[in-house]
Every structure is written in structure tokens, then in C-alpha cells.
Structure 1
Amino acid sequence: MRHSCLVAQDDPLAAPLLAELAVEYSTRYGGTADEVRDDLTSYPATEFAPPDGALLVVVENEQPVAGGAFRRYDTTTAELKRIWTAREHRRRGLGRFVLAELEAEIARRGYRRIYLTTGPRQPEAVALYNAAGYTALARDIEVGIGRLHPFEKFLDSAPAGPGRAGDAGAYARNP
């Protein structure tokens, strides 16, 4: 049985996500898996926690198989990060499932737009975002690993109400 849950960055269910991402990124972009994992965990955990963010893990048979996160980018925009599917569970639609779950949570939080970047050596991610209705932005962002490909997607509607992430000034962005 498959279900998703929101967890903290230090939750044991998040550990495989971070560990496998570190191996994946180090293989594609260089550096050791430990260095990459240190970089992944250098973001404050609060950025991926309510009210501004979330870290979602998909669990099947009590094992984490996919996940992803978002954090506040600005008052109306959430930034997707760390979209992951375990190697042995790829090609089963889990990436699209994670995106749909994150998009629904992002809308519930009141965001109106989703922003993300993906690396130059991740054509599968580019294909996933294109298939899910994301629009590639005109200019890539040059970083040490090459050009990051930015994407955005506007949500059709998001719930309004007091304390929603879309309310200007409702939350301070973490440095």
C-alpha cells in the first residue's frame, strides 16, 4: 500500500532520500557522497517545515520509495527541492505522484506559483517537469556544476484565508 507523509528533515524516513540523492548528485556532478550530503543538509531544516515548507516522503510497505520538498521562495511562490525516487522504484510514476502531492500541499499553503531548478545532467527531471506542465524559463542560471535549468508553474487556484503563505508579510523567510 502506498501513502505519503510529511516529515521533518531529521526523520528516519527522510534519511534514504538524502543518502540516495547524495550518491546520485555526486555521481553526476562530482564530489563525494558525504560532501554532497553535507551540502543537502546545510539548508536549515526549518525551511522545509510548516508553515512555509514541507518534506514529503512516499512510503510503500513501510519503506520510503520517493519524496521531495518545498520551501518558501517569496510570498506567493514555493520552491521545489530534492525530488527523488529510489533507484529500484523508478519508471513507476512515483515522480509524478510526488509532484502532484507537493503541488496539492503547496496550494493548501496558499502559494500561487511553483519555481524550481534542475541540473544540466538530469534529463529525466527536465522531462518530468515538462510533462507535468512546468514552463522552462528563458535564461539558465550559471553555477559551478554548469547551467541550472529554471522552471515555473502557476497554480490554477489556491485556498485563501488568514495565515496563508500567500499573505504578504505573514511569514519571515529564513536566511
Structure 2
Amino acid sequence: MTELDIRLTRYGSRVATELISATLADLSVRYGGSGDTTPIEPGDFDPPLGGFFVAYIDHAPAGCCGWRTFAEDESTAELKRLYVDPAFRGLGLARRLIAAVEDSARAAGRKRVWLETGTAQPEAMALYESAGYALIPDFGHYKGYPSVRSFGRSL
């Protein structure tokens, strides 16, 4: 039996940093450059204004996801850095991480979750749509980029 543990973690922790580096490397292959130039401060993910989660399978770090309060609307959480290590894909881990983010954001009083992804991540777009997210007007750092796709859902 596989043991899954999803833990609230500091964004700047060693394990989070390693998973975020893997996330950015994946995005770099897909989009070029550093992968993502969205301005992020580690404190953006500190409760109660955010949360960052690391999933462990059988005690091994397997994925991550976080949320931060959207600056222009404090009732909105912005989902960031969803990543599952390739060795752990296909186990439903991304859905579990999304659920952890949504539960945390809801508990902190957020009414909706928004996110940015892009056309080079068709599997991410399919995941979000199957999890109840719908396309919304572009809103974030990549607003106006032709490959950006923004999604949202009410909590």
C-alpha cells in the first residue's frame, strides 16, 4: 500500500526549493528561458495569506502546489507551482494537491481560485477542466501572451 502525506511547507524550504526547481526546468523545456518569470516572494505563501504544500509518497517528495492571495482581490487565491515528479504521475496526486490548496484557501476565506497555464501544457489544461475549472479572462503576469490560458473556479 502506498502512503500519501500532504504537508503544509515553507515555500523556501529545501524540499520545496528542489521541487520548484524541477517545476521551472519542466516549464523551461516547454516555453524556453527560465520557464516562468512571475514575480514571487517566498512570504506570499505564508498562512493566512497563502499556503504551500508538498506531497510525499512513501516518505519521498513527489509533488507540490501552493496558493497566494491575489493582490487585486483578497477574496481570490492564485494557484501556483503545481508539479508532480514524473516518477509519481498517473496516481491522482495532482488532484489531491489541488484539493489541499482549495481546502486551505477556502479555510482562509477565499471565494475562488484562479491560475495561469499555457498551451504548451495541454495535460494541465485537461486536468484543470476535469477538476471543475473553466477558462476566465487572462489576469496575471502573462496577461496578453498568446499562449497563456487562465482558469478559475468558485470554492
TM-score normalised over the length of structure 2: 0.88
Task: Report the identity percentage.
Answer: 30
Counterpart in the other structure of 2:152? 152
Give the C-alpha shift of residue 138 in structure 1: 5.0
Distance 2:42 2:21 in 1: 16
1:131 correspondence with 2:130: yes
Distance 1:75 1:139 in 2: 17
Distance 1:132 1:110 in 2: 20
Counterpart in the other structure of 1:48? 45
Structure 1 unmatched ranges of 5 or more? 156-175
Q: What one-letter code is carried by the residue in structure 1 that aligns with 2:125?
A: V
What root-mean-square deviation, in Å, do the aligned CA atoms of Structure 1 and Structure 2 show? 1.8
Q: What one-letter code is carried by the residue in structure 2 that aligns with 1:18?
A: I
Give the C-alpha shift of residue 25 in structure 1: 0.8
Give the C-alpha shift of residue 14 in structure 1: 0.5
Counterpart in the other structure of 1:9? 11
Counterpart in the other structure of 2:115? 116
Distance 1:76 1:16 in 2: 30
Number of aligned residues = 148
Give 3-state SS (helix, strand or coil) of 1:117's partner: strand
Distance 1:115 1:43 in 2: 16
Residues 16, 64 of structure 1: 8 Å contact kept: no
Give 3-state SS (helix, strand or coil) of 1:80's partner: strand
Distance 1:49 1:85 in 2: 21
* Deviation by residue 1:82-139 (Cα, 9 ceiling, x = unmatched): 0000011111111111111111111111101111111120001100110000111256
Structure 2 unmatched ranges of 5 or more? none
* Deviation by residue 1:22-61 (Cα, 9 ceiling, x = unmatched): 2101100112xxx448x47x51111111110111100122
Counterpart in the other structure of 1:26? 28
Give the C-alpha shift of residue 66 in structure 1: 1.2
* Deviation by residue 1:132-171 (Cα, 9 ceiling, x = unmatched): 001112568323xx4211111011xxxxxxxxxxxxxxxx
Distance 2:137 2:65 in 1: 25
Q: Of 50, 70, 81, which aligns to 2:67?
A: 70
Give 3-state SS (helix, strand or coil) of 2:132's partner: coil
Residues 26, 35 of structure 2: 8 Å contact kept: no
